[in-house]
């Protein structure tokens, strides 16, 4: 008989054997670990993509606020006006650096905020969809970054070399102020921009060199940097003689008899208005002819008296009797009316004296020649302009020997007692242009001239004017700046080289003022020289300037030189500019109401020159410089 087995009894045995058999554990463990592994790997992949998006988003945020802050510039801190394109510029740069959909991102957002200190802060956000983490319920990863851009000014020296020649009195078309007053206003605004962008630990120093035919720097020089004796184109008295010169005067009028009517109005008519170019008011005049005069007089000698003076000369007094008859006329303007009047004399008799004197005076005969003067009291006796130290006529401007042309040497400190290395005080009151007359006629005479004539004292003529004092680099608040700018007045002719030379000397970190200008405490100073002119080189060989009278002293030029005097000045300007830039000074050149010539363009270099035809354009030029001077950086 067959027995039927119990199925549960068999199953129980299988499970018991399975539980005791370890050969299937690996598969079970692997199945159990799939989800944790998927979460670990998936989060790494998705978070890595989110990190890449965050890094790129941070760079885009930084680029956006930097572009916006640069567009904002420095002027907004002064005027309070925010250019409308600031936000657009920031958004543009953000978009360029993080395009929509980068790394599969969605919902891109970028916002900017202008802070009270004129920093620009930004916030950028995107959402990065997940690829694997969706299994666990995470569809996207939010990414958000912050950024801030700040424009600040740290250690900075700014030397302004300013043309203050006579043409700065002119007013550019469309402007309401003269060039000199427009310049002052723009410099005030420039100063305010830099000061508002200055960080608390920074220092900004400002220097000024007003220039024309010369520069006024005497007060900045040490005593032993200046000669105690110097020779000037002047004159001395050769001899003296006594000269007689008769003169006649009329006086002592006395009424005797007769009738003279007062002035009475006989006619009125409209005055004529004549417009005047450049003068909106024009002018009024009375042009109608007057009736013919019938007025006559007759003189009769009454007496004569002769007096001998102590010096032997004589004075003769003749008394006359004058009889007037007839009518005379005159006219004058009163507002827009012309008034015609008449007066009639009838046997109107007066007496008067005619006095003739034989005056005597001492007349000098002068010898015009170079004359040596004691100028040891130069600091008190003179205005402060100078004559430059030793120089030569340069024939090769590509290879200038500064040891022979110390006027172009910015750094060498004078040796006491060595007149080649020392400066000479300008002494305009003793200067005479031999042999030119006050009318301008004549020609240069190198040899001494003995004459009773008076030659032109061109040291005091307008084109030899000494400008306002230069100022070394120093911190200035708005009040100090206003006080300095008030000293600037337009006068003199245009000599660009002397302005560049002394601008370079006052900012050089290795020269006359190295102790004040050198970098200290490991902090590098940024150095900028702004050269502004409103005209081309305009020299006069008769002028007395930093090189004496050019046509007589012939220190750097003479009338037979291969170059004109203007070309010589521009060539030396170029040498001086190159020397300035060798001292790690950034040079900016601005032409205000004029054009930039080749020497100016080469001096400034690319992107560092401006032509401004109006005060508005001049302000834009200075604002552009202020932006470039500022330190634009990410602050967080």
Q: What is the CATH number of the domain that holds 205?
A: 3.40.50.410
Which residue, 362, 389, 419, sits at the end of a domain? 362
Q: If you average pLDDT over every residue of the chain, what do you get?
A: 89
So what's the pLDDT on residue 32?
47
Same domain for 75 and 96? yes
Structural domain tally of the chain? Answer: 3
Same domain for 496 and 592? yes
Same domain for 142 and 221? no
Q: Is residue 3 part of a domain?
A: no
Pairing relation of β-strands 204-211 and 156-163? parallel
Q: Is residue 272 part of a domain?
A: yes
Angle between the 615-629 and 179-196 helix axes, to the nearest 10 degrees? 30
The torsion angles phi and psi of 566, rounded to 5 degrees, stand at -65, -45
Same domain for 507 and 438? yes
As a whole number, mean pLDDT of residues 61-88 equals 77
pLDDT at 279 over 90: no
The residue with greater pLDDT, 487 or 245, is 487
For residues 215 and 312, is the Cβ–Cβ distance under 8 A? no
The residue with greater pLDDT, 211 or 103, is 211
Could you read off the pLDDT of 31-48 as tens digits, one per residue? Answer: 544 545 444 444 556 677
As a whole number, mean pLDDT of residues 523-536 equals 92
Which residue, 151, 172, 201, sits at the end of a domain? 151
Q: Is residue 15 part of a domain?
A: no
Same domain for 337 and 403? no
Could you read off the pLDDT of 484-520 as tens digits, one per residue? Answer: 999 999 999 999 999 999 999 999 999 999 999 988 6
Per the document, the length of the chain is 636
Full residue range of the structural domain in which residue 126 is found: 28-151
So what's the pLDDT on residue 33?
45
Residues 6+ apart with CB under 8 A from 193: 73, 74, 75, 77, 78, 622, 623, 626
Same domain for 167 and 105? no
User: Among the listed ranges 45-49, 133-137, 164-168, 236-240, which one has the minimum average pLDDT value?
Assistant: 133-137
Which tokens belong to 343? 């007066």
Same domain for 358 and 379? no
Same domain for 543 and 625? yes
Same domain for 127 and 160? no
Residues 6+ apart with CB under 8 A from 30: none
So what's the pLDDT on residue 48?
73
Q: Is residue 437 part of a domain?
A: yes
Pairing relation of β-strands 279-285 and 272-276? antiparallel
Q: Is residue 4 part of a domain?
A: no
Same domain for 189 and 253? no
Q: Is residue 312 part of a domain?
A: yes
Could you read off the pLDDT of 382-437 as tens digits, one per residue? Answer: 999 999 999 999 999 999 999 999 999 999 999 999 999 999 999 999 999 999 99
Three-class SS state of 227 = coil
Same domain for 183 and 332? no
Q: Is residue 479 part of a domain?
A: yes
pLDDT at 316 over 70: yes
Could you read off the pLDDT of 206-243 as tens digits, one per residue? Answer: 999 999 999 999 999 999 999 999 999 999 999 999 88
Calculate ∠ Cα 105-107-113, nearest 5°: 115
**Rounded CA separation 411/548 (Å):** 22
E strand or H helix at 228? none
Nearest to 424 by CA among 493, 490, 370: 370
So what's the pLDDT on residue 636?
58
**Rounded CA separation 208/219 (Å):** 14
Which tokens belong to 618? 């001049």
Q: Is residue 10 part of a domain?
A: no
Which residue, 327, 362, 397, sits at the end of a domain? 362
Same domain for 304 and 419? no
């Amino acid at each position: 008989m067959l027995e039927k087995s119990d199925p549960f009894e068999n199953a129980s045995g299988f499970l018991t054997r399975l539980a005791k058999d370890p050969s299937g554990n690996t598969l079970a463990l692997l199945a159990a670990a799939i989800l944790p592994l998927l979460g670990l790997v998936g989060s790494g992949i998705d978070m890595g993509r989110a990190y890449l998006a965050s890094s790129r988003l941070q760079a885009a945020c930084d680029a956006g606020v930097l572009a916006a802050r640069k567009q904002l510039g420095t002027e907004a801190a002064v005027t309070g006006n925010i250019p409308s394109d600031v936000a657009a510029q920031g958004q543009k740069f953000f978009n360029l650096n993080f395009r929509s959909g980068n790394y599969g991102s969605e919902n891109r957002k970028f916002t900017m905020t202008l802070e009270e200190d004129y920093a620009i802060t930004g916030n950028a956000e995107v959402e990065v969809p997940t690829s694997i983490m969706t299994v666990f319920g995470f569809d996207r990863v939010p990414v958000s970054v912050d950024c801030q851009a700040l424009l600040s000014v740290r250690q900075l020296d700014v030397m302004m070399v300013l043309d203050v020649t006579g043409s700065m009195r002119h007013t550019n078309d469309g402007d309401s102020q003269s060039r000199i007053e427009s310049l002052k206003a723009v410099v005030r605004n420039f100063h305010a921009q830099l000061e508002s962008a200055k960080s608390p630990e920074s220092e900004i120093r400002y220097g000024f060199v007003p220039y024309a035919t010369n520069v006024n720097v005497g007060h900045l020089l040490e005593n032993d940097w200046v000669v105690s004796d110097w020779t000037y184109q002047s004159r001395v008295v050769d001899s003296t003689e006594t000269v007689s010169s008769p003169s006649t005067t009329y006086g002592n009028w006395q009424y005797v008899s007769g009738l003279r009517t007062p002035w009475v109005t006989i006619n009125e008519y409209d005055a004529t208005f004549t417009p005047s170019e450049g003068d909106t008011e024009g002018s009024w005049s009375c042009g109608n002819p007057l009736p013919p005069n019938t007025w006559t007089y007759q003189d009769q000698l009454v007496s004569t008296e002769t007096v001998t003076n102590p010096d032997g000369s004589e004075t003769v007094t003749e008394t006359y009797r004058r009889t007037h008859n007839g009518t005379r006329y005159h006219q004058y303007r009163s507002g827009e009316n012309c008034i015609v009047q008449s007066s009639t004399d009838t046997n109107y008799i007066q007496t008067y004296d005619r006095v003739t004197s034989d005056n005597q005076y001492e007349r000098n005969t002068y010898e015009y020649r170079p004359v040596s003067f004691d100028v040891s009291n130069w600091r008190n006796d003179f205005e402060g302009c100078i004559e430059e130290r030793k120089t030569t006529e340069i024939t090769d401007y590509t290879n200038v020997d500064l040891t022979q042309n110390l006027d172009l040497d910015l750094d060498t400190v004078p040796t006491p007692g060595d007149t080649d290395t020392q400066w000479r005080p300008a002494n305009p009151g003793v200067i005479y242009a031999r042999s030119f007359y006050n009318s301008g006629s004549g020609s240069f005479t190198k040899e001494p001239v003995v004459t009773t004539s008076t030659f032109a004292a061109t040291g005091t003529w307008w084109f030899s004017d000494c400008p306002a004092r230069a100022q070394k680099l120093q911190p200035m608040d708005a009040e100090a700046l206003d006080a300095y700018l008030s000293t600037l007045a337009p006068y003199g002719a245009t000599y660009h080289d002397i302005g560049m030379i002394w601008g370079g000397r006052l900012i050089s970190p290795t020269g006359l003022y190295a102790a004040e200008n050198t970098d200290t405490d490991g902090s590098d100073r940024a150095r900028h020289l702004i050269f502004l002119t409103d005209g081309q080189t305009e020299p006069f060989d008769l002028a007395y300037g930093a090189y004496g009278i050019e046509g007589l002293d012939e220190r750097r030029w003479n009338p037979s030189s291969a170059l004109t005097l203007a070309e010589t000045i521009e060539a030396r300007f170029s040498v001086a500019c190159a020397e300035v830039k060798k001292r790690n000074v950034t040079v900016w050149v601005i032409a205000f109401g004029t054009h930039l010539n080749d020497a100016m363009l080469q001096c400034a270099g690319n992107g560092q020159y401006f032509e401004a035809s109006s005060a508005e354009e001049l302000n834009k030029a200075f604002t552009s410089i202020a932006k470039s001077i500022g330190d634009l950086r990410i602050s967080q």
